[in-house]
């Protein structure tokens, strides 16, 4: 009898190892998928809402913030706010990888190449760097070890307070409090991996956003939006919502699927908005269509 029980247990364990990892994320419902039209070489990198209007930036266009106009069959990146970066010349490169706004309408851009936050006034007439160079703070804690895997998302928390996401290898966070003198800057590596990643993909962050009092993360290589919970000074992932079935749908799928393409996240009471930066890649079902995409998904529990 003992031998039979041991054999049964061994078979069960063997079968369990063959089962694919179950994704605990709840699938999101797609409301609309829209090609994103805009300037040549438009590469949207970040997303935010101001007065119920979507705004984005392009890491190839350093002096303009784009408004996204949602139309019947497409969404359009329309230049909305032009600004001048202090001390910039024709050789300057800022590689913005995140955008957020505060309660008064000012925008804040995360520069991956400069490791700083740029504040742009609501009308674009004033722009200034508001932080020191932040790379050393992250490097001391083990972040920024891989070239071009630095900042990837920013969220405004409160006046003079921000959180930025470090992209990958390892991924993590940096909190900046400019109300302190000198500014209080804290960085940490984020070790938790709750959602499965396909073979060959690494845990990463594509963006983060604040909605009401909660922070949400875009885990693009897992096709997941997850809530970030902070308890007793520690952060962990809460529930997750999956859009994998949308990005990998043959109708929307791009030719290069080695990694996730989502680069911008924001949400309101009803919807979650995700923008894809396809880096000029074509869609599989239309080799002539190289436009980015905007997904509008129903937010669970939304009104």
Looking at the predicted structure, is the pLDDT value of residue 154 above 90? yes
Handedness of CA 28, 31, 33, 39 (dihedral sign): negative
Instruction: Judge whether 293 and 276 are in contact, CB under 8 Å.
Output: yes
Instruction: Judge whether 158 and 108 are in contact, CB under 8 Å.
Output: no
Average of per-residue pLDDT across 96-115 = 96
Q: How many CB atoms lie within 10 A of CB 45?
A: 27
Looking at the predicted structure, is the pLDDT value of residue 8 above 80? no
Q: Which residues pair with 234 in a beta bridge?
A: 231
Q: What percent of the chain has pLDDT over 70?
A: 91
Q: Quick one: pLDDT band at residue 231, thresholds 50, 70, 90?
A: confident
List pLDDT tens digits, range 35-70: 999 988 888 999 999 999 999 999 888 899 999 999
Burial bucket for residue 242 (CB in 10 Å: 0-12, 13-18, 19+): buried
Please tell me which residue, 259 or 132, carries the higher pLDDT value.
132
Return the closest-CA partner of residue 137 out of 107, 164, 98, 99: 164
- Tell me, what's the pLDDT at 22? 59
Burial bucket for residue 290 (CB in 10 Å: 0-12, 13-18, 19+): middle
* Mean model confidence pLDDT for the chain: 90
Handedness of CA 199, 215, 173, 229 (dihedral sign): negative
Which structural domains are found in the chain, ordered by start?
30-298 (2.115.10)
CA distance 86 to 84: 6
CA distance 278 to 265: 15
Instruction: Judge whether 56 and 46 are in contact, CB under 8 Å.
Output: yes
Dihedral, CA atoms, 182, 184, 189, 195, nearest 10 degrees?
Answer: -150
List pLDDT tens digits, range 247-256: 999 999 999 9
Average of per-residue pLDDT across 73-94 = 88
């Amino acid at each position: 009898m003992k031998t039979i029980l041991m054999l049964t247990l061994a078979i069960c364990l063997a079968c369990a190892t063959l089962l694919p990892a179950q994704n605990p994320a709840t699938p999101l419902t797609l409301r609309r998928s829209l090609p994103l039209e805009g300037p040549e070489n438009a590469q949207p990198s970040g997303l935010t809402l101001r007065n119920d209007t979507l705004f984005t930036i392009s890491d190839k266009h350093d002096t303009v913030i784009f408004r996204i106009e949602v139309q019947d069959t497409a969404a359009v990146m329309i230049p909305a706010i032009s600004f001048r970066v202090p001390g910039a010349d024709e050789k300057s490169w800022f590689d913005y990888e995140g955008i957020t706004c505060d309660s008064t309408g000012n925008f804040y851009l995360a520069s991956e190449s400069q490791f700083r936050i740029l504040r742009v006034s609501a009308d674009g007439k004033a722009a200034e760097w508001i932080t020191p160079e932040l790379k050393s703070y992250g490097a001391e804690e083990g972040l920024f070890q891989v070239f071009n895997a630095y900042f990837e998302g920013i969220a405004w928390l409160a006046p003079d307070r921000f959180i930025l996401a470090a992209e990958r290898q390892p991924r993590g966070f940096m909190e900046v409090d400019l109300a302190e003198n000198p500014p209080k800057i804290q960085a940490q590596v984020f070790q938790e991996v709750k959602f499965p990643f396909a073979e060959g993909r690494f845990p990463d962050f594509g963006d983060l956003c604040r909605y009401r009092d909660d922070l949400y993360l875009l885990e693009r290589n897992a096709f997941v939006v997850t809530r970030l919970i902070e308890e007793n000074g520690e952060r962990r992932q809460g529930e997750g919502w999956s859009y994998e079935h949308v990005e990998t749908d043959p109708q929307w799928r791009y030719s290069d699927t080695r990694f996730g393409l989502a680069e911008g996240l924001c949400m309101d009471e009803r919807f979650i908005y995700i923008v894809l930066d396809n880096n000029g890649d074509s869609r599989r079902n239309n080799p002539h269509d190289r436009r980015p995409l905007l997904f509008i998904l129903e937010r669970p529990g939304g009104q």
